[in-house]
Each structure stands twice: as C-alpha cells, then as structure tokens.
A and B are shown apart, each in its own frame.
Chain A
Amino acid sequence: MSNLQSDLPMPIHGTLESDKARRSSTALLEWLQSWVVTVDHKRLGILYILYSIFFLLVAGAEAIFIRIQLAIPNNHFLTAEVYNRFFTMHGTTMVFLVGMPILFGFANYVVPLQIGARDMAFPRLNALSFWLTAFGGMLLYFSFLGGGLYGAGNAPDVGWFAYAPLTARTFSPGNATDYWALALIVSGFGTLGTAVNIIATIFSMRCRGMTLMRMPLFTWLYLVVSGLTLVTITPLTAAQFMLLIDRYLGGHFFDTQAGGSALVWVHFFWIFGHPEVYVLVLPAFAIANEIIPVFSRKAIFGYPAMVAASVGIMFVSLGVWAHHMFTVGMTSVTNAFFVLSTMLVGIPTGIKIFNWIATIWGGRVRFQTPMLFCLGFLYQFLIAGLTGIMLSVAPMDWQLHNSYFVIAHFHYVLVGAIVFCIFAGLYYWYPKATGRMMSERLGKWHFWLFVIGFHITFDTMHFLGILGMPRSIYTYQPDRGWNTLNMVVSIGGFIQGIAVLIFAYNFIVSYFRGDVAGDDPWDAWTLEWTTTSPPPVYNFGEEPEVRSRRPLWDLKHPHDTDWEYEG
C-alpha cells in the first residue's frame, strides 16, 4: 500500500493536464484520442458508466414528460403518437442503454481489481464491446431524426416489448422499428462480448490463491450474471433477426395471414425478457454484497448460501417467462407450471434477504450514503418480491395484467432495487476511480429526496392499478377517480428528478473539490482497496496473493486473519 500523503489525488490515468499553460488544442485532441482507442478496463468502465448516466438523464427526462402528460385528465401536453414514442424510448433506453451498460461498467472497473488481475482477459474485445453498445444507443436515438417515413423524424412507438403484429410493415411503416431492432442487435453483440470477457476473466485471470470459493461475492455474482446473459441476450438477437427478415425480406415468422404466429414473438421476447430482469438485478445484489458487510463491520453472513442462491436464481429464472403471458390464453397446465416456477424464485431470493439482514444484525452499522441506499434497496426489494408473488398467481394476474399495478411492481424492482444499488455502488467506488470522495451532505440530500419521491410515485401507482388504470394510455377521462392519485404520482416523479440532478451535480463537482480519498476510505476488505486511488494502469505493482475471502482484512490484522477460520 502506498503511504503517499498529498493534497491532490493521483489523476485518473489519461485525464487532461490540469496545468492550463501546458494544455493546448493538440493536447486536447491527444486526450480525446487516448480515450477513444483505450483498451484499459478501468477507462472502459468509466466510459460505460458515464455513457449510462447520460442516458439515465435522457430517459429520466422522458419519464418526466410522461408524468406531465398524465398529471391531469384530458391533457394535451403530448399527442398520443409522441406519448407512445416516449414510453417506448423510456423503457428501451432504461433497460438497454442504462441498466445493462452501467452494470457492465461496474464489472469492467471492479472485477479485475477484485481478483488481482491487471486487465480483462480480452482487452480489445472489451473496447469493441463498449463501442458496439455505444453505437447501438446512437442508432436508437438517431431514429428521432431519421426514423420516419420518407425521411421524416420519428421514434419507435411499439412498446419496449414490440408485440407482433404491430411491428409488421403494414402497421409500422417507416424505419423507426428497424432502428429499434438494429440498435438492440448491435448493442446485443456488445453485451455478448462483455459477458464472454467477464467469464474468461474470472476463470482465467485470478491471482494466486483466489480459489472460486474465496472470490468476493461481487465477482461471483458477475460470473453468474454473465453466464445468464449468454443465454438471455442471444434469444433476443434471434427474435430481432426474425423480425427484420419479416420486415425486409418478406418472411412470415410473425405473419398470421400466412400461417405465422404473433404469439411466437411474445414467447421469444419473454424468454429473453424475464431472465433479463435477473441480469439486471443480480449485479444490484452484487453491489449490496460488497457494501452491506463493509458498512456493518461484519463479514457477509452465509457466503456459500449466497453463492448457491445466486446460481439457483440463474436456473429458475430461465423457466418462468410465460408468467408475462397468463392473459394470452394458455392451457391450465401451462399456467399452473409457470405459477409454481415463478413462486420458486422466492426461495433463493428469500435466502439472500435473510442473509443480508443477518449480516447487519449485531453489526456496528455506519449510516453513510452507500449504506443508506443499500438499506432502501433491502426494504424495497422485499416489497417488490411480495407484489411479484401476488402477480405470479394467475387469477390475480388476469385482474391486474397491463394495469399500473404491474408498472408499480416492476419499477419497484428496477428503481427501488436496481437503481438504488447502482447509486450505492457509484458512491462506494467513486473514491477508488477518482481519488476523491463524493459529498456526504449532498449524498444524504440525494438519498432522502430520492427515497421520498420514489415512494410517493410508486406506492401510489399500486392503488391506481387496483383502481383499473391500464398502462400505455396517453390520457384518461376525469370521472374515473384517478385524478388525485395521478397528480401525486407525477409530483413524486419530479422529486426524484430533483434528487437525480443533485446527484449529477455532486458527481461532477466532487471530482474537482471532493475530499482526497486515500487508498481505502471505507476501511474495506477486498483487493481493489489495496492499490492507489485511482489505481495505476497496471493495477498492482506486484501480483497479490490471497488466502481468504477478505485479503485486506488479513493484511490489516496479521494476528487475527480470516484464513485461520475459513474452511
């Protein structure tokens, strides 16, 4: 560990010269070029995260527009067509351009550091994957300019699940749907490349002594996620190929006029779509697995059970997709199968929740911003799981399908669990990546505003759903009894928007003015905290060697090491 004491953190490798005199326009170009051609896992991780935060703000703005439109009945803020584009783009962006890239950004940055490696297994594939993902996002947003018929601007308006036959040429003329499909194919290749890379890195690049059962749980969960991604993103790519064959070559996959079946698309989409939820939520668990023990000052409770539960979730999640389809009219045997398999998910996730609570139990909890977000996550993920079990009951689903209850449920998972953990992870690893702490005061403002806004919005949505408000409608009549609740939902949305802006301000300003972090600001236990903040290009001066699950604890407490107790 470095004992260097200085006022300034080390600059992130490749940042711009801070001395103005030495900064010229050529230097600027060289700096830009060095980020474009980089194959360093840390810089690619940072690129992934910045890219995702940018799209988080874009898709967040789309959500705000949606909520302005729905705040009062018979509103004309957005037309029906624009509204359809906005909810399609909001969903697609949040899943493919925010959720996936930011979580893979964390993996890129943290996994090699945690396993004591100098880079990913395939650094150039890593860069290729990032740029494919990035261009996928640009392709999707280009449709706003060039997606319409005869060169007019348009955007995809078929919903993020793009059910057939709405996507057929007849019903979706113009190019917007093609941009949607192509964007997802391109970014899907990027995702596949990253998943392959993470698996190869974890299997083949671990430092001496890091056996599989000594890996930090963060790394373990990313191994599981990447395995799941391999078999999740490819069915989507296959279905998109079929869609393009139908649209461009006159194929009949989803063409009911020629004997094709629209239902096949629904199956294929959810064979991707449901495991995708676990692709997004398992990294959130991974982040919580790092932060909760460190801020409770206790080793994680039940490490083997956590590993087993994660692998269990991976397998169970592949057999539950048709619970999105109870209303399409499947046989009662099929319905029963998917009801039971969906409920089965509750067992491994329940194990995880109990283990996190047992980790906190009796610990000396430090209520700093990363931990606050993790506590919010724990509570909200529990509620999301409970409404999930409600929806897994087929008759209950027949009542609530396509209502705001479903919207509330999945936003509880996507925002209440995943986004909360993403914020926790950003506050937790920011000092490692920049050498500066994010402001704790602004962090607390961010947390409390976000948690209050979140509950105002999404708790209320459950009631709207039970009162019968369907999803994807652009307005409603004033006599439905939804007026007050919709206004409340929109107000909560604005509060969350303000919270995210505070975060963005904190994120930028702390880079210049934050307190110097030092190597190990949280007194943590994994290998990334043994090197400097930010780490040098080569990560570790000499290859680390580990003998337990908490190598840095062993270093700090040579007379009370973990490896004396671990089996």
Chain B
Amino acid sequence: MSTASRGMDLPAEQAWKLPSRGRVGMLSLIIGESALFTIFVVAYIFYIGKSLTGPTPAQVLEVPILGTICLLSSSFTIWRSEHAIEHGRMRAFAGWLAATILLGVIFMAGTAIEWHKLIVQDGLTIRTNLFGTTFYSLVGLHATHVILGLSMLSVVLVLALLDRFPASQSERFAVIALYWHFVDVVWVVVFTVVYVIGR
C-alpha cells in the first residue's frame, strides 16, 4: 500500500476539502421528503372541490395565523441558536433553542385546538369526505415532521442544560437546524395550498 503515493508528487499539498457528510445526508433526506410531500400536495390539490358531501373547507377552516407566525419565527430563533453555538456562547444557545421549541409547541397546540374543533364541532373526520381525508393526511404528515423535529431539538436542549452538548458539536446541531428549516418551508407550501388556494 505504501506504493500508492509513488509518482504522485504534484497535487498532494493542495487542500483536499470535502463537504460535511451530515449536511450532504440531510440535504439528500430533504430531497426525498420533498417528493413525499409533493405527492400528498398534488393529491390535495387534485381533490379540491371533489367532495360529494360537506363540510367544505370554506365552511369550517380558519386561517391559523398565530401558529403560522410562531412556526416561521422559529426559523429565526434556531438560526440565532446556531450562530450562538458556533461562537461558543452556550447560554445564548440554550436560550434561543428553548425559544424555538416553545414556538414549535405553540404551533402544535394551535393544530390540536383546530383539529379538536373540526372533529367535535364540525364533525369532520378523516372518513367524512375527500376533504377530510386529504386535509388530515397532509396537515398530519406535516405535524408528524414538526413533532420529530421538536423531539430532536428537545434532546439537544436537555443535553445542553446538562452541559453535555459542547460547542464542538455545532456541526451536528446545524444538521438538525437544516431539518427544522425544511419543516418550516413545507408549512409555507401546506399553508398556501390548504388555507389560501383550497378555501
């Protein structure tokens, strides 16, 4: 094996830098997840107005403004959090991270209240009509991703509070943050399709 470098004097000293495997892996996962969401979004759009019975989106859906503001702001707080850990400011890191989780939880609480109202007051379940089927599937798929993201962030927060998440792990946190940004971007699409176009 030592012969492997024989006759290779030229570019050895040049910098050999490759992208971080965590980021590449997460970006690949995001591409795959985007295709998954695309299918559900296409199904939602295709079935708009095709339900044979009520209730219709216009009758029962209310635009979740507070939840949306919270979720979109959490992209800002997690970015501050990333910035803090890169510069080793661990208390700021934990603070911004806790704010991110809080905003995510408020969003999920909004969804829970919305679903409770839809199911109990309006009688809309996943089997009521096509709107119910596509609505709960698409919004539920997104909510699943929010919960997954919140779980990962909570694990990091607990570790950070126990001083077990050193600044040297900033790269790993950046990968989780990438996922969180993706979840936010998907919400922009879901929001547009469900509450703007579909209503």
Contacts and interface: CB of A to CB of B under 8 A. Distances in A.
Contact of B43 (A200, A206, A209, A242): A242
B38 to A, nearest CB: 8
A195 interface: yes
Interface in B31-47: 31-36, 38-40, 43, 46-47
A537 to B, nearest CB: 15
B127 A250 contact: yes
Interface string A189-216: 0001001110111011110110000000
Contacts of B47: 253, 259-260
A209 B7 CA distance: 13
Contacts of B25: 121-122, 125, 196-197, 199-200
Contacts of B127: 249-252
B109 interface: no
Contacts of A235: 35-36, 38-39
A542 B130 contact: no
B16 A208 contact: yes
Contacts of A199: 24-25, 28
Interface in A376-411: none
B87 interface: no
A264 B45 CA distance: 12
B58 interface: no
B137 interface: yes
A204 B19 contact: yes
The interface size bin for chain B is 35 or more
Interface string B10-26: 11100010111110110
B137 A196 contact: no
Contacts of A238: 35-36, 39-40
B30 to A, nearest CB: 9
Which of under 10, 10 to 19, 20 to 34, or 35 or more describes the interface residues of A?
A: 35 or more
Contacts of B5: 544-545
Interface stretch (A5-13, A356-364, A427-435, A553-561): A553-561
A29 interface: no
B24 A206 contact: no
A228 to B, nearest CB: 11
Contact of A204 (B21, B32, B36, B43): B21
B28 A555 contact: no
B91 to A, nearest CB: 31
Contacts of B6: 555, 558
Contacts, number: 149
A253 B127 CA distance: 10
A261 B42 CA distance: 13
B9 to A, nearest CB: 10
A547 B10 contact: yes
B126 A208 contact: no
A264 B39 CA distance: 10
A122 B21 contact: yes
A204 B33 CA distance: 21
B69 to A, nearest CB: 29
A252 B1 contact: no
Contacts of A551: 4
B129 A259 contact: yes
Interface of B: 1-8, 10-12, 16, 18-22, 24-25, 28-29, 31-36, 38-40, 43, 46-47, 50-52, 126-127, 129-130, 133-134, 137, 141
Interface of A: 1-2, 121-122, 125, 192, 195-197, 199-201, 203-206, 208-209, 226-227, 230-235, 237-239, 241-242, 245-246, 249-253, 258-261, 264, 268, 271, 530-531, 540-542, 544-545, 547, 551, 554-555, 558, 561
Given A200-B25, A541-B2, 14 more contacts: A199-B25, A203-B19, A204-B18, A204-B24, A208-B12, A226-B28, A234-B36, A242-B43, A242-B137, A253-B134, A258-B52, A547-B11, A554-B7, A555-B6
29 contacts: A121-B24, A196-B32, A197-B25, A199-B24, A200-B21, A200-B28, A205-B18, A206-B18, A226-B28, A230-B28, A230-B32, A230-B35, A234-B36, A235-B36, A241-B137, A242-B137, A250-B126, A250-B127, A251-B127, A251-B133, A258-B129, A258-B130, A259-B47, A264-B46, A268-B43, A531-B1, A540-B4, A547-B10, A555-B6
